[in-house]
Amino acid sequence: MDDKSFHFFAFLSRMKYINRWGLMRNTYTENIQEHSLQVSIIAHGLAVIKNTYFNGEVNPERVAILAMFHDCNEIITGDMPTPIKYYNPQISKIYKDIEDISKEKIISMLPEEMADEYYSLFFKNPDDMKCWKLVKAADRISAYIKCVEEVKVGNNEFKKARETILQSILEIDLPEVGYFMEKFIPSFNLSLDEID
């Protein structure tokens, strides 16, 4: 081993400084580190639900780890608001290219011998497509939970986003997502004293 040091983990620790929902007035600021943990927890749950109730054969731990790293590139790019990111196909393509470049940059902060292991966490491959579908669904559910929590405390800034995101979740053709929304989401409307 040589004496060279690597910046990968120190760089990832900066996820806590990248805030989400930049165009919205927030009562509670959410950063991408918090968001990534919540998405990981939800994605893991979706995988367990899929395997338990819908004859799935996905690895919940793999789903969770993909979710944990799904927004790491935003340390470089920031959290691009959805209306801008998907404003038109040209912007979407350019942003995707920027995302890929930022992922490559982060992976370059690892020793060469470790890079392949992390490459498969940052870039989608065909073997993980079932897992990535759950991560994407969990990402939307996490965004919906943020909207529910904001509206619950009277922040109507999130009312339209809540409706739009809910509609996009209802369009996901995965029974585990419907199960999660029916069985687990109602609790997010309760106070701590009402949860027992």
Q: What is the pLDDT of residues 21-62, one digit of tens each?
A: 988 999 999 999 999 999 999 999 999 999 999 999 999 999
Task: Classify residue 105: in a domain, yes or no.
Answer: yes
Task: Classify residue 54: in a domain, yes or no.
Answer: yes
Task: Please give the share of the chain, as a percent, with pLDDT higher than 90.
Answer: 85
Task: Classify residue 184: in a domain, yes or no.
Answer: yes
pLDDT band with cut points at 50, 70 and 90 for residue 80: confident
Task: Classify residue 196: in a domain, yes or no.
Answer: no
CATH number at residue 178: 1.10.3210.10
37: containing domain: 8-191
Task: Classify residue 73: in a domain, yes or no.
Answer: yes
Give pLDDT, residue 122.
Answer: 96
Task: Classify residue 168: in a domain, yes or no.
Answer: yes
Task: Classify residue 45: in a domain, yes or no.
Answer: yes
Q: What is the pLDDT of residues 90-144, one digit of tens each?
A: 888 888 899 999 999 999 999 999 999 999 999 999 999 999 999 999 999 999 9
**pTM: predicted TM-score of the whole model, two decimal places:** 0.94
How many structural domains comprise the chain?
1
* Sequence-separated (6 or more) residues with CB below 8 Å from residue 69: 36, 118, 121, 122
Task: Classify residue 2: in a domain, yes or no.
Answer: no
71's tokens: 């927004």
